[in-house]
Amino acid sequence: MTKSCDQRVAIVTGGGQGLGAAHVRRLAAAGASVVVNDLGVALDGGLDPERPAVQLVEEIRAAGGQAVLSGHDVSKWDEAGELVQLAVESFGRLDVLVNNAGVLRDRSLVKMSEAEFDAVIAVHLKGTAATMHHAGAYWRDRAEHEKLDARIINTTSVAGLFGNVGQMNYAAAKAGIVGATLVAALELGKYGVTANCISPGAATRMTASIPGRDANAMAEDDSFSPRWPAAVVEWLASGLSRGVTGRVFMTSGRRLGIAEGWSHGPSSQPVEAAEDLDATLRMLLAQARPNSDMRGAAW
């Protein structure tokens, strides 16, 4: 029986544990050869003595799959290029890029430090941009002599789509990832590359670190299992999703849906005088759909 990702080569950043590990296992079970990219660090940046990515690569190989380990730092432009090159050198090609790596430095807007802002933007947003840049250049060159069916699968969040208190840096990075993904979809489509996002809901060490979350209850709740987002990643990585691009898929064990992005709402002829402008904008606001919060309620 042919598997959905047979003969495909995938990179998964932040693939050592949590969502990334679920993606790796799902893609490997679907027949893909996987580059497991992970720095081997905890959320605070310190080294993780358990080295979960090493164990995961060994697990995949023991099950008969193909996997290699990458310790490249995707927030560094050149190392992101070396990661893409590792996939090509190890397996002869690259077909799928899954950007999952991330860190948290949650803080209220007025208390956040520059270092806390920079750390989150570097890993989430710059890391996604850097890997897309190098993978996109590789696919552009390959498209000159073969027909491609390649994939970019990026990770956004409800915080980036709808906002969340205490996560300005994270929300900005995740919103930026959606914008970058849309540009990639527009620019790389002519080379046979699609670009989409997932907005996953799952219990991981990252969500466990968020104040107010009951980490144990979430971990025991199957609706927060990483297997649900991983299933969508497999579909997006496979030929089944051919032609689907520029979309954001909201996925958890509680809900599967499509996030609707910015669209042109109510409008009018331009108005300049202050009183007329106030009346016109109030009218348009009354006609426009309200913003949604992370749970879909208006705010």
Partners of residue 12 on adjacent β-strands: 36, 98
Fold topology of 9-258: Rossmann fold (3.40.50)
Partners of residue 198 on adjacent β-strands: 155, 249
Q: What is the pLDDT of residue 47?
A: 58
Partners of residue 155 on adjacent β-strands: 198
For residue 130, give the nearest of 87, 199, 184 by alpha carbon. Answer: 184
- Residue 99 tokens read as 């950007």
Helix (H) or strand (E) holding 12, with range, is strand 9-13
pLDDT per position as a tens digit, 34-76: 999 999 866 555 556 668 999 999 999 999 999 999 999 999 9
For residue 253, give the nearest of 233, 227, 234 by alpha carbon. Answer: 227
- Residue 69 tokens read as 């380990």
In whole angstroms, how large is the CA radius of gyration of the chain? 20
- Average pLDDT value for residue range 146-155: 98
Extents of the domains making up the chain:
9-258, 265-299
Which are the catalytic amino acids? 157, 170, 174
pLDDT per position as a tens digit, 264-274: 999 999 999 99
> Could you tell me the pTM of the whole model?
0.92
Burial of 240 (0-12, 13-18, 19+ CB in 10 A): exposed
Q: What is the pLDDT of residue 14?
A: 97
Q: How far is CA 139 from CA 47, 128, 156, in A?
A: 34, 16, 23
Residue 107 dihedral angles phi and psi, to the nearest 5°:
-165, 150
